[in-house]
């Protein structure tokens, strides 16, 4: 494998890691506040559909993004009502909302466009274009680092850079602000937070809303930047892989970046059977490569996580009167 091919794979690693990273950070906010969210997948899916539809109808990728975030927030609100207000089972609520997303997206897309549950192909301003970073061409002749900067770092949509910027932003919010301290405390010991006179319900709803926004961006990225339009089940388990990455990252923002880049790399490899064959000298069947990200998710969870300690109050509804 030569350097150019390697850079191509890294380039698509970054592309494919972006929705995982956004979803992983989304899950991080929710779980750090003590609300499990299996429904990242469904939120991404509804966001992808509505952003694809609105971007097509208005011709604006930004309006598509707004629509995606709004729909994702709606799903997050239902999850919040079920999990926080009515103290329902958070895993089941997430699974239910995923099914609801899977059916509703096809139903609505079919009713609106009649193309078998897809949204029409996007082009021009309805998609997020690729940005060229400053000096990308000028620095290209610099050995090793030049092509890396020009090929891998430059030439992505603005949402990729937004996702990367979200990593330090998440770290700062969680670790350096009062809001972040309270959010983490709600996930560890809600009773203590309650005693301090802070509403557990409000903190958890705030966290779930942030999860909704980030999943919305992730879904919009899938439909308006990574691909040109929404397709049935287009998220293909990314929400679940993001959850696995979150555990791998031990619920930490920088860990989330490295974990999702790793999973993005697996996905990028699955798209390049020629490279895998050349490196391993084994003719690997295509379905095996397609299963690779899922197999590696299982292996990573089983073998390399070590001791991952989840937020202590995760998954437990807070009952005040106890």
User: Would you give the binding string for another protein spanning residues 61-80, x where CB under 8 A is met?
Assistant: -----------------x--
Please state the φ and ψ torsions of residue 79, each to the nearest 5 degrees: -60, -40
> What minimum distance in Å lies between the beta carbon of 145 and another protein?
37
Give the residues across from 156 on adjacent strands: 131
Could you tell me if 221 and 22 are in contact, meaning their C-beta atoms sit under 8 angstroms apart?
A: yes
Distance from chain centroid for Cα 7:
23
Report the distance separating Cα 129 and Cα 148, nearest Å: 20
Residue 285 lies near another protein (rule: CB under 8 A): yes
Angle between helices 3-32 and 178-188 (to 10 degrees): 70
Q: Which of 48, 83, 217, 269 binds another protein (CB under 8 A)?
A: 83
> How does DSSP assign 125-156, residue by residue?
GGS--PBPPTTHHHHTTSTTHHHIIIIIISSB
Q: How far is CA 119 from CA 50, 56, 92, 102, 129, in A?
A: 9, 8, 29, 14, 19
Chain residues 214-243 in contact with another protein, contact rule CB under 8 A: 237, 240, 243
Interacting span for another protein (CB under 8 A) from 97-105, 135-143, 169-177, 203-211: 97-105
Q: How far is CA 187 from CA 14, 47, 192, 312, in A?
A: 30, 26, 11, 6
> What minimum distance in Å lies between the beta carbon of 205 and another protein?
16
Residue 168 lies near another protein (rule: CB under 8 A): no
Q: Based on CB atoms, which residue is closest to another protein, 59 or 310?
A: 310
> What minimum distance in Å lies between the beta carbon of 296 and another protein?
9
User: Would you give the binding string for another protein spanning residues 30-49, x where CB under 8 A is met?
Assistant: --------x-----------
User: Would you give the binding string for another protein spanning residues 103-132, x where CB under 8 A is met?
Assistant: xx-xxx-xx-----x---------------
Count interface residues toward another protein (CB under 8 A): 48
Residue 303 lies near another protein (rule: CB under 8 A): yes
Residue 92 lies near another protein (rule: CB under 8 A): yes
Could you tell me if 184 and 250 are in contact, meaning their C-beta atoms sit under 8 angstroms apart?
A: no
Report the distance separating Cα 68 and Cα 50, nearest Å: 5
Residue 185: which residues within 8 A CB-CB, separation 6 or more?
A: 192, 193
Q: Which of 23, 44, 76, 82 binds another protein (CB under 8 A)?
A: 82
> What residue ranges bind another protein (CB under 8 A)?
38, 78, 81-83, 86-93, 95-104, 106-108, 110-111, 117, 237, 240, 243-244, 247, 285, 287-288, 290-291, 294-295, 297-298, 301-303, 305, 308
């Amino acid at each position: 494998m030569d350097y150019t091919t390697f850079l191509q794979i890294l380039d698509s690693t970054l592309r494919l890691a972006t929705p995982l990273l956004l979803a992983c950070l989304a899950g991080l906010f929710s779980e750090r506040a003590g609300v499990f969210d299996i429904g990242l997948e469904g939120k991404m899916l509804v966001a992808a559909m509505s952003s694809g539809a609105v971007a097509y109808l208005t011709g604006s990728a930004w309006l598509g993004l707004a629509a995606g975030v709004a729909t994702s927030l709606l799903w997050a609100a239902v999850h919040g009502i079920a999990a926080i207000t009515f103290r329902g089972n958070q895993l089941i609520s997430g699974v239910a909302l995923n099914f609801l997303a899977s059916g509703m997206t096809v139903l609505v897309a079919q009713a609106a466009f009649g193309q078998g549950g897809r949204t029409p192909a996007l082009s021009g301003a309805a998609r997020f274009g690729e940005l060229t970073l400053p000096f990308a061409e000028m620095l290209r002749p610099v050995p090793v680092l030049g092509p890396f900067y020009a090929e891998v770092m430059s030439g992505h949509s603005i949402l990729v850079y937004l996702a990367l910027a979200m990593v330090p932003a998440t770290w700062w919010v969680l670790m350096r602000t009062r809001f972040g301290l309270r959010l983490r405390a709600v996930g560890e010991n809600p009773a203590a937070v309650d005693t301090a006179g802070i509403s557990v319900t409000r903190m958890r709803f705030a966290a779930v809303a942030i999860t909704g926004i980030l999943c919305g961006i992730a879904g919009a990225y899938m439909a308006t930047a990574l691909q040109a339009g929404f397709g049935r089940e287009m998220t293909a388990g990314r929400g679940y892989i993001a959850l696995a990455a979150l555990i791998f990252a031990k619920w930490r923002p920088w860990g989330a970046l490295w974990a999702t880049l790793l999973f993005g790399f697996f996905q990028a490899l699955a798209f390049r059977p020629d490279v895998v064959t050349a490196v391993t000298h084994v003719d690997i069947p295509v379905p095996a490569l397609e299963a690779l990200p899922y197999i590696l998710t299982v292996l990573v969870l089983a073998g390399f996580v070590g001791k991952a300690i989840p937020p202590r109050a995760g998954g437990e509804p807070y009952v005040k009167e106890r």
